[in-house]
Amino acid sequence: MNQSISVVSTLYHSSQTVGSFIKQCEKSLVKLTDRYEIILIDDGSPDDSVEKARKSNAPIKIISFSRNYGHHHAMMAGLEHASGDFIFLIDSDLEESPSLLLEFWEKLQKNLDAEMIFGVQDRRKGKITERILGSLFYRIFNFLSEVKIPSNLLTVRLMTRRFVDSLIQFKERELFIGGVWQIAGFKQIPLLVHKASTSKTTYTLKNKFDLALNSITSFSSKPLVLLFKLSLFINFITFAYVGKTVYFWITYEEPILGYSSLIISIWMFGGLLLTATSVVGLYLSKVFIEVKKRPRYSIKEIYDNTNL
* CATH number for the domain that contains residue 139: 3.90.550.10
Give per-residue pLDDT as tens, 3-28. Answer: 899 999 999 989 899 999 999 999 99
How many domains would you assign to the chain?
2
Does residue 233 share a domain with residue 285? yes
Claim to verify: residue 175 and residue 236 sit in the same structural domain: no
- Structural domain of 97: 5-200+296-304
Looking at residue 59, its pLDDT comes to 92
Percent of the chain with pLDDT strictly greater than 90: 32
Cα 294 from Cα 92, distance rounded (Å):
28
Same-domain status, 79 and 173: yes
What pLDDT, on a 0 to 100 scale, did the predictor assign at position 237? 72
Query: Is residue 124 in some structural domain?
Result: yes
Which secondary structure element, helix H or strand E, spans residue 275, and what is its range? helix 260-291
- Round to whole Å and give the CA distance between 307 and 299: 21
- pTM confidence score: 0.75
Does 214 reside within a domain? no
DSSP-derived letter for residue 39 is E
- Does residue 249 lie within any of the structural domains? yes
Beta bridge partners of 6: 37, 87
pLDDT, tens digit (0-9, with 9 covering 90-100), for 203-223: 555 666 665 666 666 666 667
Same domain, 195 and 261: no
Q: Are residues 134 and 265 in the same domain?
A: no
Q: Tell which residue, 28, 68, 30, 29, has the closest CA to residue 49.
A: 68
Nearest to 192 by CA among 119, 95, 272, 105: 119
**Residue 210 within a domain:** no
**Average pLDDT of span 275-291:** 70
132 pLDDT band, cuts 50/70/90, is: low
Distance set, CA 252 to CA 115, 244, 245, 248, 285 (Å): 74, 12, 10, 5, 52
Q: Give a yes or no: residue 237 inside a domain.
A: yes
Q: 300 and 280: one domain?
A: no
